[in-house]
Structure 1
Amino acid sequence: MNKGIKITYILGPLVFLVLSWFIYRQVIHQPNWKTSLHQVWMAITSPQQWKLWLVLALMPVNWGIEARKWQLALRPVGGIAFRDAFRAVFTGTTMACFTPNRMGEYLGRILYIEKGRRIKAISLTMACSIAQLMVTLLIGLVGILYLRAAPPPILSGKHQGLLALDILLWIVLVLLVSLTFIYCRFSLVASLLLKVPGTRRFSIYIKVLENFDATILLRILFLSFGRYIVFIVQYSLVFPVFGVALGFWQVLGGMSVVFLVMAVVPTLTFLTELGLRWEASIQVLQLYSSNVVGIFATSFAIWLINLIIPALIGSLLIVRIKLFKSR
């Protein structure tokens, strides 16, 4: 395990550096890129900076919705106070920064659960992840259809690009149908899994899924839609600050595909996630805007506000937990 962790820490920064190099090459090949960098700095200190403060204010709203989702998901095992759920999602964000594909998020959250309920809580937490992924796939599917129906001039006539969109569309459709069936039939899926030879030893993880109430699952799904809307609003606010002129439908269509890529492509650490976020945003949104520097700046600002600041807060909460237990 230690060897695997060491390899992860080596590969993470390496992939990040490679992606950063490609992005750097893209930036310096843009016309007047030095002027663009100066414009970005001016934008931060411009009268539009209030939009950045509003995005920062939306960060606790974003994680508050996630905390509420988790609070609802834990009802079958006794529930959790919203205050503790809110702290848990921040702590989970801290742990997620240093684990492949943000898997450490589950470990960070269960620190706030009593020991006897922690194993069951991991399985229930997955319901929140599945709901958010379903929303990402669904809106991402709409985004692909939007790009396919009204392709930007830079994409029109490029059969390889359109073919790639068609392939991605069918992959997303299959994943969405599969996850929808699992989400709507947790009890049935749990029963089927328990009949598979060798799964009895995992029954403690599986049986807890049978107790999900349909109303709770529906509320979790609606909250996932709400969280997605917060993400789109944040990007819509930040793009103009950095001089990226995009209409609302272009933001929704473009970012839905970016979120889709972020959801399905595995990442090693928060560094590789940042690199992938930059690369995906630039590749998709430059179909509508040539301001690569502004797209890069927007992605970095959202990453900093939505992930790094919560991770720092979560690290302080971890210290608080240790001090509390030591007493």
Structure 2
Amino acid sequence: MSLKKKYKIWINYVIGPLLFIILSFSIYYKVKNQTGLEETKDLLNSAVSGNNLWLLLLLVLLMCVNWGIEARKWHLLVSRVQPVNYFTAYKAVLSGVSLSLFVPNGIGDYAGRLVYMQEGNRLKSITLTLVGSMAQLIITLTAGLAGLLYLSKGSWLELEQFKGLSVYWVNGIIFMIAMGALLMLFIFFKLNWLTIMFEKIPFVNKYRFMVENLETISRGDLTRILSLSAGRYCVFVVQYLIMLHIFNVQLNTADAVSSVGVLFLVLAILPTIPVADLGMRGEAGLQLFGLLSLNKLGIIATTAGIWLINLILPAVAGSLFILGIKLFRNR
């Protein structure tokens, strides 16, 4: 057996279990030490019993739907470079969630998905994965903008915190977000321009293979990806509404949906490491929902519950899938 083959076998059958062990211990200790979880333990325990049990089961089901939609998006995109069945796409997405818990800006998410691609297709799939992330960001910016407009022109007007705040400053923020969303939407539907740009820049042209598959994405496919992203966003919102109800955070539906949209907007703009951002999520949620509700403990419990269901549970499942990863495929 050649040295190269021995090296590949060692990597294939050691790296997966090693990653699983590291991720398992890291998830356990970092979740255990998160601020905000201890003070909401009683609320979380009480939510498991009684009439709320079926709502919690529904939240877990919606979590599966959420990541299932994301898997479908990735499945549609990477099929341009390599046939991937849907279950493999689902495993890749959950593996990415597991790795992304410790790496900022979604880098771990891409790494987790790449290991399910063949060696020659991994770099090609990066840009296609970015297309899916870009679609989700466009939806987040647009919905967040709508929420910001609704709250700033309605429920926030009478709040003491906003009296004396310059209307020009608020309108300036809204304008910048709107321009950013429109610019991203324009680029999204003109992705084939990237291949043209790569061709014209000499020192970048050698990496053209990474973007050439963008030319194969039709406007209809892009619209489909954007629609799936909108569907996934709706799942997020429904999850928050259910969790707010479980912890008795009293908000009317329009205010709740708008506040969730602004919260997602803030979290999308601020780069964080997901496993370390419960404190940031809790603080952001407390600041936003706290403007319209006095149930501060319920707000903290809501953000903690969503964090556990949407990130920690999928990360645990993803770490199990990582056990079977093989960086090198047999040829």
TM-score range, shorter chain: 0.7 to 0.9
Pairing 1:234-313 to 2, within 5 Å after superposition:
234-267=239-272, 269-313=273-317
SS in 2 for 1:280: helix
Could you tell me how far apart the structure 1 residues matched to 2:222 and 2:131 are?
Answer: 8
Pairing 1:110-129 to 2, within 5 Å after superposition:
110-129=114-133
Q: 2:71 aligns with which of 51, 67, 73?
A: 67
Look up the equivalent residue of 1:306 and give its one-letter code: N
Greater mean deviation of Cα atoms: 283-292 or 127-136 = 283-292
Pairing 1:109-258 to 2, within 5 Å after superposition:
109-152=113-156, 153-154=158-159, 157-160=162-165, 165-258=170-263
Over 6 Å off, 4+ runs: 323-326
1:87 matched to which residue of 2? 91
Cα distance per residue 1:88-146 (max 9 Å; x no partner):
00000011011112211001001111111111001100000000000001111100110
| TM norm structure 1 | 0.83
Could you tell me how far apart the structure 2 residues matched to 1:272 and 1:199 are?
Answer: 36
Alignment RMSD, CA only? 2.7
Could you tell me how far apart the structure 2 residues matched to 1:278 and 1:298 are?
Answer: 8
Could you tell me how far apart the structure 2 residues matched to 1:144 and 1:118 are?
Answer: 39
Q: How far is 1:58 from its partner?
A: 1.0
Greater mean deviation of Cα atoms: 211-220 or 59-68 = 211-220
Conserved 8 A contact 2:191-2:215:
yes
Greater mean deviation of Cα atoms: 290-299 or 315-324 = 315-324
Cα distance per residue 1:277-310 (max 9 Å; x no partner):
1111111111111111101101111110111010
Q: Does 1:319 align with 2:323?
A: yes
Q: 2:57 aligns with which of 53, 57, 61?
A: 53
Tell me the matched-pair count.
Answer: 298
Instruction: Mark the CA change 1:38 to 1:63 in structure 2 (over 3 Å): closer, same or farther.
Output: closer
Instruction: Mark the CA change 1:213 to 1:56 in structure 2 (over 3 Å): closer, same or farther.
Output: same
Could you tell me how far apart the structure 1 residues matched to 2:43 and 2:166 are?
Answer: 31
Look up the equivalent residue of 2:264 and give its one-letter code: F
Q: How far is 1:164 from its partner?
A: 5.2
Conserved 8 A contact 1:148-1:162:
no
Conserved 8 A contact 2:192-2:215:
yes
Conserved 8 A contact 1:155-1:162:
no
Could you tell me how far apart the structure 1 residues matched to 2:44 and 2:261 are?
Answer: 24
Conserved 8 A contact 1:254-1:284:
yes
Conserved 8 A contact 1:44-1:241:
no
Greater mean deviation of Cα atoms: 175-184 or 127-136 = 175-184
Instruction: Mark the CA change 1:191 to 1:323 in structure 2 (over 3 Å): closer, same or farther.
Output: closer
Greater mean deviation of Cα atoms: 119-128 or 198-207 = 198-207
Look up the equivalent residue of 2:66 and give its one-letter code: N
Look up the equivalent residue of 1:299 and give its one-letter code: T
SS in 1 for 2:207: helix
Q: How far is 1:51 from its partner?
A: 1.0
Look up the equivalent residue of 1:134 and give its one-letter code: I
Could you tell me how far apart the structure 2 residues matched to 1:37 and 1:62 are?
Answer: 25
| TM norm structure 2 | 0.82
Greater mean deviation of Cα atoms: 63-72 or 45-54 = 45-54
Could you tell me how far apart the structure 2 residues matched to 1:199 and 1:248 are?
Answer: 49
SS in 2 for 1:199: helix
Conserved 8 A contact 2:115-2:327:
no
Look up the equivalent residue of 1:271 and give its one-letter code: V
Q: How far is 1:147 from its partner?
A: 1.0
Conserved 8 A contact 2:66-2:235:
yes
Could you tell me how far apart the structure 2 residues matched to 1:324 and 1:124 are?
Answer: 21
Could you tell me how far apart the structure 2 residues matched to 1:110 and 1:91 are?
Answer: 10
Q: Which runs of 5+ in 1 are unaligned?
A: 1-15, 25-33
Conserved 8 A contact 2:44-2:305:
no
Q: How far is 1:274 from its partner?
A: 1.6
2:100 matched to which residue of 1? 96
